[in-house]
Chains A and B, each alone.
Chain A
Amino acid sequence: MDESALILDAQHGDLQAFNTLVLAYQDVLYNTALRILNDDDQAADATQEAFLSAFRALNSYRGGSFRAWLLRTVTNACYAELRRKKRRPTTPLEPETADGEEVESPSWLADPHATPEESLDQAELEHAVQHCLQNLPEEFRAVVVLADIQGLDYSEVAIAVHKPLGTVKSRLARARLRLRACLQGFRELLPSAFRLEEESNL
């Protein structure tokens, strides 16, 4: 896929070319929205809104990381959704029991391709990360999601959150420190292979 050619075609109104880009990036955008918003439906709405905004504003793209540019649209859509949510709070996503207790490992988080044991690990890991992310201020959350979950480099994160590089560095460090404390209790959830890898790096 020649991304530059597709972007150029899309800038000239070629919807087919743009939709090819959508298919290539929809998972990244959806996961980013999901981690920031912690709600499947809202994440889907924000992703759709982001692609729509991206198509409308495509002529403002002037080169550089297209992924970062797209992630900026989804980050903006998420911020808008969070602001809307603050005005009109809704019930939390996590399934609850009849007693109002939150279900710890909801089955809907399962990866159909993983073994039951792996699924449980992954689901718990995801739940732990999501739980800790929700305790972060939204601007810290966006930076850490982009840098550590989506693997963007600093300059891409700076583009995506529309902040200077220094702000990105500072926010990322503070977000990691806050998450560190929260994730301490979940360390045993880390996949065994990963634990070995980490230990070998020491």
Chain B
Amino acid sequence: MTTPSSRDLEQLSTYLDGQLSQSDRTRLEIRIKSDPALASALEELRQTRAFLRHTPQRRAPHNFTLTPKMAGIRPPVPRLVPVLSWASAAAMLLFIFTLGAGLVGQLSFGEAATMPAPNTFAGNSAAAPATAAPATIAPVVAAPAPMLPATAIVPSGGAANTPTPTEQASIMAVEQATPPAVSQAAQLQSAPKIQQKPANIWLFIWPALAVLLAVLALLVFWLNKRAFQRKNPHS
């Protein structure tokens, strides 16, 4: 009778669970019959296993079910919502762009209002010096109300409202009026050149700002989405 080796004991344990191969099992059974130490060790292992198998099972102290909050599940949202969330970013882009364009337009308009009037007026006076009314209006228009040339044409023309006594007189008036009109036009033509600089700057700044803000909005949205996906990989 020899003390079983650790290899023998491992084989006995595996044999006890019926996990030995057929050949190993046959060999071991022959040895157990002839070696009381192996038989005794097997019996002790069997008792140990039986002891452990009779360990009382406790009931769980409470239910371990998960709440949606624990599982990090958000309430289901309609499929359209992700699309809408992207759309909101796109809308913001358009809104800022429109707003920017509108402001640029307003600035340009304010400027443009001063610009074309003298040009057309100068053109008119140059192309059609015989046209009495515009010609006579020209000095009046340019001087008091450069911002509102269109409206100024009708009421401001003191000469226009005043009935021209004769055609000749009006021609004379044109002849007299033309040089100041031309000079005025020249003055006004030079004026926009000075004012054109800030308008050009805004023309670049507003779209750039709009694009920058929109990109920022998209970036924030994307970062939020990624953070949520990391937090809730199954959502």
Q: Which residues of A contact B (CB under 8 A)?
A: 13, 15, 18-19, 22-23, 26-27, 29-31, 34-35, 40, 44, 47-48, 51-52, 55-56, 58-59, 109, 111, 122-123, 125-126, 128-129, 144, 147-149, 151, 153-154, 169-170, 172-174, 176-177, 179-180, 183, 186-187, 190-191, 194, 198, 201-202
Contacts and interface: CB of A to CB of B under 8 A. Distances in A.
Interface stretch (B52-60, B82-90, B115-123): B52-60
Contacts of A153: 17
6 contacts: A15-B68, A40-B61, A48-B64, A169-B10, A186-B51, A194-B50
B49 interface: yes
Interface stretch (B39-47, B145-153, B200-208): B39-47
A30 B53 contact: no
B63 interface: yes
A173 B53 contact: no
Nearest to A148: B52
A153 B18 CA distance: 10
Q: Majority SS of interface residues in chain A?
A: helix
A56 to B, nearest CB: 7
A179 B52 contact: yes
A29 B45 CA distance: 25
Contacts of B233: 56
B14 A44 contact: no
B73 interface: yes
Given A19-B65, A59-B234, A151-B53, 17 more contacts: A22-B64, A27-B59, A29-B64, A30-B60, A40-B61, A44-B60, A44-B62, A47-B64, A52-B70, A109-B56, A129-B52, A173-B10, A176-B13, A179-B48, A179-B52, A183-B48, A201-B46
Contacts of B124: none
B39 to A, nearest CB: 10
Nearest to B43: A202
B81 interface: no
Residue from B13, B43, B60 having most chain A Cβ neighbours under 10 A? B60
Contacts of A27: 57-60
Nearest to A114: B56
A34 B65 CA distance: 18
A30 B56 CA distance: 13
Contact of A22 (B43, B59, B66, B68): B66
Given A27-B60, A30-B60, A173 B52 contact: no
B66 A187 contact: no
Nearest to B14: A169
Contacts of B43: 202
Contacts of A151: 53
A109 B45 CA distance: 26
A26 B64 contact: yes
Contact of A51 (B6, B48, B66): B66
A190 B234 contact: no
A52 B64 CA distance: 9
